[in-house]
Structure 1
Amino acid sequence: MNMHNILNINSRGEFREWLLENSGREKECWVAMSRSKTPPLGVLPYIDVVEEALCFGWIDSILKRLPDGRLVQRLSPRRPKSHWKQLNMERCRDLEERGLMTEAGRQALERAIEQKK
């Protein structure tokens, strides 16, 4: 799989700004991330990447390593009938309570809830 649209961002806020501007028209992006509690500069914590993606109705998928050793996570819009893990549904509810969910994220969650009925 070719990696294109690799984002050079340094903060959760920068990623959110990119999603605000591009989530409605881009098909994917790749973000450097780490599962470490103290990631290096230019690498976001995994939870920040996933939570922001969920806010916009996007999901994480493939993880790859760049030649410089950084891990990048592929993110893309959720398909309407995609399977949701309970953990991500709970994260969305928490993000809604914190005022972070967007309309696209709410709609994706509502579709998931309807499918589970």
Structure 2
Amino acid sequence: MTEAKIKSFKSYIAWRNWLEQNQELQEGIWLQVYKKHSGIETVSIEQALAEALCFGWIDGQRKSYDEQSYLQKYTPRRSQSIWSKRNIGIVEKLIQEGKMMPRGFAEFEKAKNDGRLAKAYDSHTTMQDAEDLMLELNKNQEAKAFYDALNKSNKFAINFRLQTAKKPETRAKRLNEIIQMMKEKKKFH
């Protein structure tokens, strides 16, 4: 597989047109998005995600690029990839607006039919602390104090691992590992 190229687009229309022509590109693309202070016309990150979902693509890693921009990776969705509740909401809105393309709609229907939508995870902004996690942390005040002091990214990583466990025994194992990490004052990031 070749490395994804870096490209920027002045508008969501230009991005959508590119996706329409390149939706089969397996390595995806690093989308260069300019920061507001740069004054450079660019597709917004929200528009970019919506258009990507229309074509069955998904956002991935984000990283800084230079003082004026950052890169967001977009690739075609893999067959068993998990869905976020946020992206489900975006797709449902796009369906109502008649903007979904066949490939994007097919990915959504496949996930609905195989149960992946029912197992969707919460986003950074909506994720709550898992009840079983809090019950265990409350048994050890040092571990709880360490957890409470973690930043949002670390708390999300912990709760994401619990929320995406497919089997109860996997969740229990992950919970035990997380509690041990908190006791040892170890972070995920």
Class of the TM-score when normalised by the shorter of the 2 chains: 0.7 to 0.9
Gaps of 5+ in 1: none
1:3–1:34 Cα change, 3 Å: farther
Letter in 1 for 2:55: F
TM-score, structure 1 normalization? 0.85
TM-score, structure 2 normalization? 0.55
Q: Tell me, in whole angstroms, the C-alpha distance in 1 between the residues paired with 2:41 and 2:4.
A: 17
The reply on whether 1:60 has 2:59 as its aligned counterpart is yes
Q: Tell me, in whole angstroms, the C-alpha distance in 1 between the residues paired with 2:57 and 2:84.
A: 13
Letter in 2 for 1:108: E
Matches within 5 A, 1:14-93: 14-33=14-33, 40-93=39-92
Shift of residue 93 of structure 1?
A: 1.2
Q: Matched residue of 1:49: which SS?
A: helix
Q: Tell me, in whole angstroms, the C-alpha distance in 2 between the residues paired with 1:111 and 1:34.
A: 34
Answer yes or no: is the 8 Å Cα contact 1:6–1:31 preserved in 2.
yes
> What is the RMSD of the two structures over their aligned residues, measured on CA atoms?
2.3
1:79–1:4 Cα change, 3 Å: closer
Which residue of structure 1 aligns with residue 114 of structure 2? 115
Q: Tell me, in whole angstroms, the C-alpha distance in 2 between the residues paired with 1:40 and 1:89.
A: 32
Q: If each structure's strand is expressed as a fraction of its own residues, which one has the higher value?
A: 1
- Segments of 4+ in structure 1 off by > 6 A? none
Q: If each structure's helix is expressed as a fraction of its own residues, which one has the higher value?
A: 2
Q: Tell me, in whole angstroms, the C-alpha distance in 2 between the residues paired with 1:73 and 1:84.
A: 18
Q: Tell me, in whole angstroms, the C-alpha distance in 2 between the residues paired with 1:79 and 1:26.
A: 10
Which residue of structure 2 aligns with residue 7 of structure 1? 7
Gaps of 5+ in 2: 119-189
Aligned length: 115
Q: Matched residue of 2:32: which SS?
A: strand
Shift of residue 65 of structure 1?
A: 1.5
1:68–1:26 Cα change, 3 Å: farther
Shift of residue 45 of structure 1?
A: 1.4
Q: Percent identity?
A: 26
Greater RCO between the two (CA within 8 Å, min separation 6)? 1
